[in-house]
Structure 1
């Protein structure tokens, strides 16, 4: 267990309260037996006070236990889940204040109803074990929630990025490139930038960059296979760490090395800063407004914007998700990234974010995503174009997806490209915009017949479109749900018949 003063006080309070309740003693009863005031015992049980030795001896005698057992950090079997929660360091490593949660209030809740809370925590732990939810995955989920709470827009980082650009007296319309950002790292922060030698360190082949911190002269090792655009982002993120003064950080691009939530949060802030200085808000907003106002779907205009801003399709789509809610009033949207190996019928959802609510599509384990999703069909199109030749361009498509069950419609814009560092691997990034009154006012090309409209669903296992040619699996989840509904109706019918016969 993480031994800190808050945990020690909480564990002691939980043990006192459990022993008191087991003996059906009220606070007043325990007060009379121990000689301690009711208010003081209440403070102890809430984890706010830790008594001195003489008072612990008095409590132990009143509760029929010994001193050593009472001060031990070991909790009873009923409270083991709370012990696991404290041992996980989540309460200390996760900055609960970011989510509007006061840690002392959370500890008080644990002390108020320890058995009920323990059962609830135990259920969550059991679910996490069954679904192999590691600490890293928990931190990633917490980070996504944090982003979604703020509509993925952070004014303070936007302002810091603009101040950084102003400090360097850059012309208003300049787009930052690899050379400029590299010089900033070298001249302003004393970096030495070298290529990552894969022959000496083949185990680092998949690592895009590695920062070796030295006070006077930090070293940044960059994978030689990266494009100029990718290097620009890495340099921008490194500047973000320095300019935002983020001390607790990741040193490689392999974010799974993160052993605390702060690592991931600071990596996100530095990455956001990089996007904000490369795709400058002041330049992006007028061009994005012009594009969305077009009366016809023109994917080449979108691809040109991505090239002009010296960024990747993924970074550009993600940057759009920053500004759409704040500056266009469109906050019902989501972002997805799928990976696929050409010729294989497996599509892995490797990144997602939802703003305003949980949209469809989203991650569903061990089921087949609807093969009508544009995110998947564009990968199949890319694989076909790559047959027999080295096609290295980005393709861009749009689709209006109407969900069978809910009738909700989304404008899907997807971009797909081959992964240069991984043979036969393709990746698609997609932005989904919920079509309601707000978004229909902003997007002018929705009526363009060039945009295909398709009926889609969540997964094959949940879909009632039995004649679907793209179906990959039987609707097993739907069938189970229908059986359950039929059973409920039958029971309700029998119960009403019984009631009617009794009344007669």
Structure 2
């Protein structure tokens, strides 16, 4: 366990005691949750730990300076994380707490994925979505997350890296994610690294911003031409792109094909009704 992870656990314990939260999970909430109050109290204690480790005004000042750059710079973003001595996931989660109130960036989403090295499986372990747009999370338990989405791409890259020391170092990238068939675009910042606790597992976190006018006004590098623009979808099963257009496809477009059949049937029936009328 890394020093930032230990600090977070200690900070959360302080939070449970300082906030006098009696009902609490005895282990990780991912393993067992016995009640809603346990989940809520764990959130409160975790929020307390994040605020304790990442001082609010210092981060606001850092972000204001970072957002004022005309070019995206992943190294500068990593310097911010290292300055606050927290894990990438903790840092992104703390961002989600401050951005709506202090920067007016309210349409955001946070995702955390775990993946096994072989065979490659991508599990969504934490998320919240304040954007009002359905993001590529894979609705059904058997659906496949869009492989074009940045946090998945970074996990795929990590899986191909056999150097354990390199895998432990966070990879960072940015992407403008453009939804197919929707007039929506998101700016995604993602970090990925190998797990210290399980060498067969890789982790990634992503902060997504809906590209609207408040975002454009606040983040000067939003249209940096060096940032790749990628067409994405919700899941492979819901995507109409052919294999020729998407080499990342991981499953047939079964749900999309079924939806197209229904649309075709409805169109034929509507035409028949008009002809009979």
The TM-score by the shorter chain falls in which range? over 0.9
1:484 aligns with 2:262: yes
Could you tell me how far 1:388 is from its partner in structure 2? 4.5
Could you tell me how far 1:298 is from its partner in structure 2? 0.9
Corresponding residue number in structure 2 for 1:278: 53
Instruction: Show structure 2 runs of 5+ residues with no match.
Output: none
Alignment partner of 2:247 out of 455, 469, 481 = 469
Could you tell me how far 1:353 is from its partner in structure 2? 0.7
Q: Distance in 1 between matches of 2:163 and 2:36?
A: 45
Provide the TM-score with structure 2 as the length reference. 0.93
Could you tell me how far 1:282 is from its partner in structure 2? 1.4
Contact kept in structure 1, 2:138 and 2:144, CA below 8 Å: no
DSSP-derived class of the 1:398 partner: strand
1:437 aligns with 2:205: no
Alignment partner of 2:21 out of 243, 246, 256 = 246
What's the CA shift string for 1:474-499, capped at 9, x where partnerless? 22111111111111122222222222
Contact kept in structure 2, 1:293 and 1:444, CA below 8 Å: yes
Tell me how many residue pairs correspond in the alignment: 273
CA RMSD for the aligned pairs? Answer: 1.5
DSSP-derived class of the 2:100 partner: helix
Contact kept in structure 2, 1:255 and 1:264, CA below 8 Å: no
Question: Residues 292, 476 of structure 1: CA spacing in aligned structure 2 closer, same or farther, 3 A cutoff?
Answer: same
Which one scores higher on RCO, CA 8 angstroms, separation ≥ 6? 2
Larger helix proportion of the pair: 1
Could you tell me how far 1:255 is from its partner in structure 2? 4.8
Instruction: Show structure 1 runs of 5+ residues with no match.
Output: 1-225, 500-504
1:269 aligns with 2:44: yes
Corresponding residue number in structure 1 for 2:3: 228
Q: Distance in 2 between matches of 1:322 and 1:378?
A: 24
**Aligned 1:12-411 pairs, distance under 5 A:** 226-365=1-140, 366-384=142-160, 386-391=161-166, 392-411=168-187
Alignment partner of 1:454 out of 221, 230, 240 = 230
What's the CA shift string for 1:323-370, capped at 9, x where partnerless? 111111111111111111224332111111111424312342212222
DSSP-derived class of the 1:372 partner: coil
What's the CA shift string for 1:211-241, capped at 9, x where partnerless? xxxxxxxxxxxxxxx2211111111111111
Could you tell me how far 1:434 is from its partner in structure 2? 0.6
Larger strand proportion of the pair: 2
Provide the TM-score with structure 1 as the length reference. 0.52
Contact kept in structure 1, 2:175 and 2:188, CA below 8 Å: yes
Contact kept in structure 2, 1:352 and 1:362, CA below 8 Å: no
Could you tell me how far 1:375 is from its partner in structure 2? 0.8
Question: Residues 363, 369 of structure 1: CA spacing in aligned structure 2 closer, same or farther, 3 A cutoff?
Answer: closer
Contact kept in structure 2, 1:334 and 1:359, CA below 8 Å: no
Q: Which moved more, 1:293-302 or 1:460-469?
A: 460-469
Contact kept in structure 2, 1:333 and 1:431, CA below 8 Å: yes
